[in-house]
Amino acid sequence: MNFQPRGISDQIIRGPGSYASEVEAAAALLKTQPTWNGVGAEAVARMRLQNRFKTGLDIARFTAAQMRADMARYDNDATKYTQSLGCWHGFIAQQKLISVKKHFGTTDRTYLYLSGWMIAALRSEFGPLPDQSMHEKTSVPALIEELYTFLRQADSRELSNTFRALDAARKAGDKAKEEELIASIDNFQTHVVPVIADIDAGFGNAEATYLLAKKMIEAGACALQIENQVSDEKQCGHQDGKVTVPHEVFLAKIRACRHAFLELGVEDGVVVTRTDSLGAGLTQQIAVSHKPGDLGDQYNSFLDCEEVDASNIGNGDVVITRNGKLMRPKRLPSNLYQFRPGTGEDRVVLDCITSLQNGSDLLWIETEKPNVEQIAKMVDRIREVVPNAKLAYNNSPSFNWTLNFRWQVFDEMKAAGKDVSKYNRAELMKAEYDETELAKQAY
């Protein structure tokens, strides 16, 4: 059968007479083996159709092509966005996709997202953990493999039911029904959809990132999401205390993911780069800079520094030059360096542009709260440099969306000089506000 990726042919298995051609191929093979008694050509064809994905790499290549096609479709029509459903067990993934296909008749533009915090909280052998990359790195590829085991089982179940219905139609002599069922087999849409897998900050250096990326791709992942936090200082995206790495360190990990995809023959593999700079006020190291204005110098330009005289440099002090002046970056007792307050958005924009210019396919801007206007302003700035930049946004359930949107509307109303005296900003979740104009605007 000629299975083609969704987006190229709407993820539909097409080809005139494809079911018949599988039966014919199996029959031709069996004729060469006269001692294989009791093996029927149609049974062989059906088993092959129910097991079209032989390895995780088969899945990764198939879903990567799907994802690339969906990205191209989005470029032509921004209403054709995709949605990724979180899951932490194969059964959850199976039930979600069966339900989606049952109710909508298609799994188009429906993905699965494998979240690091869910694995840490629910799948770690150490027990429930915070989102700090302390869970076993092998648990990520293991869960990817589990997800696809259950999704392939969903395919097998649906096709098996169709085969039984086909046998019943033949027994009843219902030719029209028989043709209808064969057409449904020839146009079967798989439950196997792209998985975007969270590799956190890579669980180590660039080589560690590469090795883990290979395992995840071999399990079936077609997209890897990696963030620019320090691997051994990693914090949950919504928490304070996050520490970022210089761009060259992060770019090495992006390249590690790309090398893993290319080595394994998944040329359409997708790299999603996440920046945590908006909520990160610290860096572990000062970037290497060779000349003013280079990438390292731009990173260091955000450091919170004080001017220092050469004669006052103390033992262990680290100094840089800025606009011809000798500057000492502010260093904490933890040996981390501070960024200047208020530089988060500028650092995000630089992160995103740099990532897109060095192999990233999609952006993820991590925020501490859902603020569409804030995100839009940064994306507009990014698109001034990279016009086709695409954003993956975190619709996290850990956000209180209702409250956050009500806060934003309240603040906008107040800034515009509107009367907000009947609202208590600290209690905007109360039911008494549900039918108010503020709540309607926030909805």
What is the secondary structure of 99-154 as a DSSP string?
A: HHHHHHS--TTEEEEE-HHHHHHHT-TT-S--SSS-S-TTHHHHHHHHHHHHHHHH
Length of the chain: 443
Q: Are 361 and 270 in contact (CB under 8 A)?
A: yes
The one-letter amino acid at 264: L
The DSSP output letter for 219 is: H
Q: Are 394 and 237 in contact (CB under 8 A)?
A: yes
What is the spatial distance between Cα 66 and Cα 82, in angstroms, rounded to a whole number? 11
The DSSP output letter for 55 is: S
236 is catalytic: yes
**Which one of the listed residues 236, 257, 305, 352 is annotated catalytic?**
236
User: CA nearest 267: which of 213, 210, 222, 220?
Assistant: 222
C-alpha distance across the termini of the chain, in Å: 47
Residues whose CB is less than 8 angstroms from the CB of residue 71 and which lie 6 or more positions away in sequence, other chains included? 270, 361, 362, 390
Q: Are 185 and 162 in contact (CB under 8 A)?
A: yes
What is the spatial distance between Cα 73 and Cα 201, in angstroms, rounded to a whole number? 30
The one-letter amino acid at 98: I
Q: How far is CA 320 from CA 176, 196, 308, 339, in A?
A: 80, 40, 10, 14
Catalytic residue ranges = 236
